[in-house]
Amino acid sequence: MTTLLTAGLPVVVLLVMFIFKMYTFRNLGWVLLCLLWGAVGYGVTHFLNPPLAALGLDALALTVVFTPLLQQVFVALGNYVIVRRARFDNIIDGAVYGFTTGLGYSVAGHLAASLASRANLDVVALLRAFSSTLVYATASGIVGVIVMQFHFSGRSNRITILLSGLGAGIGYLALFNFILLRKFGGDILPIAYGVGGLTLVGLYLTGQMRRILIQLGVEKKRADSLLNIVIPIGVQLSAEKNFSKLLEGILVEAKSFCNADGGTLYLVRENRLEFAVIRNDTLRMTMGGTSPVEIVLPGLHLYNEDGTPNHHNIAAYAALSAKTVNIEDAYAAKDFDFSGTRAFDRTNGYQSISFLTIPLKGAEEKVLGVLQLINALNSKREIIPFDKNLERLMESFSSLATAALEGYIQEQSLRNEIKAMRIQIDQSMRAKQVEEITDSDYFKNLQGLARKARHTLPAPKAETDDPTDKPASDR
């Protein structure tokens, strides 16, 4: 009876989770695998404890340090394998698989303890089993959520996220084992500790779900923006016949859509990026496009003097790699050289912090230019990073803008070809008309009459200034 109750408690928890549809038959196999993996983690820990004790580690070190560390590492490894294979991408799945791994560890521990003691079940043992089950499952659930965030997060601090999550799970479990070992608070404190930890995790998941729902609302709004704003802008740009106004429209509309303070549009010409349009609201800078102020800044070289690609400049890198680059803080970035940007900031009393640099890719991934937005602003006009999800919408916008730019270039090229063709046709028609005239009988008769006239006319007398040739009266 003791074995049945202590081992059956996690099964009841799994059944409750299934009833509330935290997992379904679709991922039941992964849940059972996590349960088994947790039991394997307990077996490895139990197997390693005697050799470590023989090496001199006391019960406090084994219980408070080694056991939580090894158990949570097992949880992280198992969940990471599943996240790569099953490709789940939400925190509920991460919590479920981690929670189940902790239950598996608890099941194996309770079975081993009950079989070893063969004592009769009492209320204290049942409460202790309940509290330890909650604690191991909760700590493992924390790690499961963190592993999911680690795998799918594109942020640079994902290692910090993983280590902090592991630290939280290990610390939560280590403190519980320390309370049990020192017998603090009798039998009530461990139970309260387990229930309190589970409550906190539940509140955390609720908060995360709320954040996800808010993000879904934002994504829906952006999807509507794509349909109602971005696509009409692309159509409007495609109808623009003034090249300078077209270039200006691409930058201004992108800057407005992203609520960016400034931006630059470059065009690829040979092996350089030439400035086409520059706008900055704070500095009241308008250069290029339809502005009467011409851009006198030198272009950016796509290749260094030794012929290697210029990957130090962010705009040149975007043009050469045809990849979008999102920089949260240019002053902390190490992958690109922002020395020119910092010099510009010092001269103008400005701060260029966040950058979103998008290549304008035409047919066959050929880059025609680069669109660079600077300093995304929130409602308080504070500088913030460009949103990763907004980045995707801007790539869609850049595709429409590039189509308009490419269409204009093709139209102008076609106009030039037609103009050249007309010149050739006019020259050919003139030559043909001249040939028809010269081959006509009328023109040939005129030529004959002209020749006869030249033969019959008397030769003109040669004029001279010699006084001897004049009459005597004129001398």
Domain range list for the chain = 2-218, 244-410
Rounded CA-CA distance 363/389 in Å is 25
Residue pair 58/28 in contact by the 8 Å Cβ criterion: no
Residue 334 gets which letter from DSSP?
A: -
Three-class SS state of 285: strand
Q: Is 223 exposed, middle or buried (0-12, 13-18, 19+ CB in 10 A)?
A: exposed
Nearest to 86 by CA among 41, 33, 136: 33
pLDDT value at position 76?
Answer: 92
Which pTM value belongs to this model?
A: 0.50
Q: Which CATH class is domain 244-410?
A: alpha beta
Rounded CA-CA distance 337/401 in Å is 28
Work out the number of other CB atoms within 10 angstroms of the CB of residue 239.
Answer: 9
Rounded CA-CA distance 27/14 in Å is 13
Residues 133-142 as b/e (b if ≥16 CB within 10 A, e otherwise) read bbbbbbbbbb
Answer yes or no: is pLDDT of 472 > 70.
no
Residue pair 174/238 in contact by the 8 Å Cβ criterion: no
Beta bridge partners of 286: 279
Residue pair 112/61 in contact by the 8 Å Cβ criterion: no
pLDDT value at position 357?
Answer: 95
Rounded CA Rg of the chain: 41
Q: Which of 242-251, 262-271, 345-354, 415-424 has the lowest mean pLDDT?
A: 415-424
Rounded CA-CA distance 110/129 in Å is 7
Answer yes or no: is pLDDT of 369 > 80.
yes
Mean confidence (pLDDT) of the chain:
78
The pair of structure tokens assigned to 255 is 């800057």
Report residue 442's pLDDT band, with 50, 70 and 90 as the boundaries: low
Please give the residue that has the higher pLDDT: either 469 or 375.
375
- Summarised one tens digit per residue, pLDDT across range 102-127 is 889 988 888 887 777 665 556 666 77
Task: Mention every residue, 6+ apart, whose C-beta is less than 8 A from residue 459.
Answer: none
Work out the number of other CB atoms within 10 angstroms of the CB of residue 243.
Answer: 14
Quick one: how many helices (H) and strands (E) in the chain?
Answer: 14, 8
Answer yes or no: is pLDDT of 93 > 50.
yes
Rounded CA-CA distance 155/207 in Å is 20
Residue pair 145/91 in contact by the 8 Å Cβ criterion: yes
Rounded CA-CA distance 42/70 in Å is 9
Answer yes or no: is pLDDT of 207 > 50.
yes
- Summarised one tens digit per residue, pLDDT across range 21-38 is 778 887 888 888 999 999
Rounded CA-CA distance 444/441 in Å is 5
Residue 474 gets which letter from DSSP?
A: G
The pair of structure tokens assigned to 168 is 């939280």
What is the residue type of 465?
Answer: D
Rounded CA-CA distance 79/104 in Å is 13
pLDDT value at position 284?
Answer: 93
pLDDT value at position 113?
Answer: 77
Rounded CA-CA distance 171/387 in Å is 33
Residue pair 230/250 in contact by the 8 Å Cβ criterion: no
Work out the number of other CB atoms within 10 angstroms of the CB of residue 398.
Answer: 22
Q: Is 224 exposed, middle or buried (0-12, 13-18, 19+ CB in 10 A)?
A: exposed
Q: What is the DSSP string of 165-181?
A: HHHHHHHHHHHHHHHHH
Work out the number of other CB atoms within 10 angstroms of the CB of residue 273.
Answer: 26
Nearest to 134 by CA among 162, 105, 112, 113: 105
What is the number of alpha carbons within 13 Å of residue 228 lying toward its C-beta?
Answer: 6
The pair of structure tokens assigned to 154 is 């594109």
Residue pair 66/60 in contact by the 8 Å Cβ criterion: no
